[in-house]
């Protein structure tokens, strides 16, 4: 069977399974198996029998809605590549905007101290030390399996990574932090049915669900950020697109410059605030 025919067959399989981006995923899996870049697959990729069996197995797994990144073992995020797999939340492109905001804030400071709460795979923390090398980055993750993935991704980077709850994290840094950033859990428990199979069945529960309104973790984050930040310090946190009003309200009152920001699809995506 030709490469084109293999891709078309895989695409049909993924369409039938309800995968959101069937052609892209078929191509990425073939690129992973053959080592040939996506743009050159039809020109250069020729699967031998071992590669064909491997490819078919991966396509079958993707059709069962195993996340693509779990199958390839990696996920791109801004300018870095992360190791991911079962037990860790797969970083999303939307979160790159929040990470970019944190990078901009840290870049404007001389020796920034940054804390990444609920670091997951370590995506935001890794982006910060990669793009702002002079920054001192601290990160915390509660889920034990996710913490293991963060260790792999942050090993040797200088990030101060700890296993624990964000509620009482980094007490020795109280009042000394310039930037707090977080992609906390924010899905309401009642939204179970609306969540994709890839997320619901494979991302860790601790990274997803956050009470009846999805903002339980955001409230903890607000208190922790207030404790950690020095006067004039800033906090940024991702939220669901339906929380464009409710998430900023968590920071109403004692915070200044509370703003909500939209993603590339013009959906509400993250809130920022400044400690007066």
Q: Which of 17, 32, 64 is the last residue of a domain?
A: 64
Task: Give the CATH number, domain containing residue 194.
Answer: 3.40.50.150
pTM of the predicted model, to two decimals? 0.88
Q: Which two tokens stand for residue 28?
A: 């990425």
CATH number, domain of 25, equals 1.10.8
Does residue 135 sit within a domain? yes
| Residues 121 and 252 grouped into a single domain | yes
- Rg of the chain, C-alpha, whole Å: 20
Residue 54 lies in a domain: yes
Q: What is the largest CA-CA distance in the chain?
A: 65
Q: Give me the residues of the chain with pLDDT under 70, please.
A: 190-195, 201-202, 206, 209
In 10-166, where do the E strands start and end? 74-77, 80-83, 113-117, 136-141, 160-163
* 56, 164: one domain: no
Tens of pLDDT, residues 95-150: 999 999 999 999 999 999 999 999 999 999 999 999 999 999 999 999 999 999 99
Which pair of structure tokens corresponds to residue 114? Answer: 């940054």
Nearest C-alpha neighbor of 225 from the set 138, 117, 79: 117
| 220 vs 173: CA distance, rounded Å | 17
187 and 50 in one domain?
no
Residue 85: give the domain boundaries: 78-274
């Amino acid at each position: 069977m030709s490469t084109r025919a293999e891709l078309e067959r895989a695409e049909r399989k993924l369409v039938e399974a309800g995968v959101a981006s069937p052609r892209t995923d078929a191509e990425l899996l073939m690129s992973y198996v053959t080592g040939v870049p996506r743009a050159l697959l039809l020109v250069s990729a020729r699967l031998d029998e071992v590669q064909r069996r491997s490819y078919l197995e991966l396509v079958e797994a993707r059709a069962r809605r195993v996340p693509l990144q779990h199958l390839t073992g990696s996920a791109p995020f801004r300018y870095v590549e992360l190791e991911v797999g079962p037990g860790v939340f797969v970083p999303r492109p939307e979160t790159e905007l929040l990470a970019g905001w944190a990078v901009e804030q840290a870049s404007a400071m001389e020796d920034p101290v940054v804390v990444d709460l609920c670091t997951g795979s370590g995506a935001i923390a890794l982006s910060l030390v990669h793009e702002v090398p002079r920054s001192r980055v601290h990160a915390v993750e509660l889920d034990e399996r996710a913490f293991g993935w963060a260790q792999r991704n942050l090993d040797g980077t200088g990030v101060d990574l700890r296993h624990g709850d964000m509620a009482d994290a980094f007490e020795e840094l109280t009042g000394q932090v310039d930037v707090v950033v977080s992609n906390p859990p924010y899905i309401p428990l009642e939204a179970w049915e609306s969540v994709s199979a890839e997320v619901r069945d494979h991302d860790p529960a601790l990274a997803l669900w956050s009470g009846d309104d999805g903002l339980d973790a955001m409230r903890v984050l607000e208190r922790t950020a207030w404790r950690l930040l020095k006067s004039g310090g800033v906090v940024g946190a991702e939220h669901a697109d339906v929380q464009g009003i409710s998430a900023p309200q968590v920071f109403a009152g004692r915070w200044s410059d509370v703003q909500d920001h939209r993603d590339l699809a013009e959906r509400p995506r993250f809130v920022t605030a400044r400690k007066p």
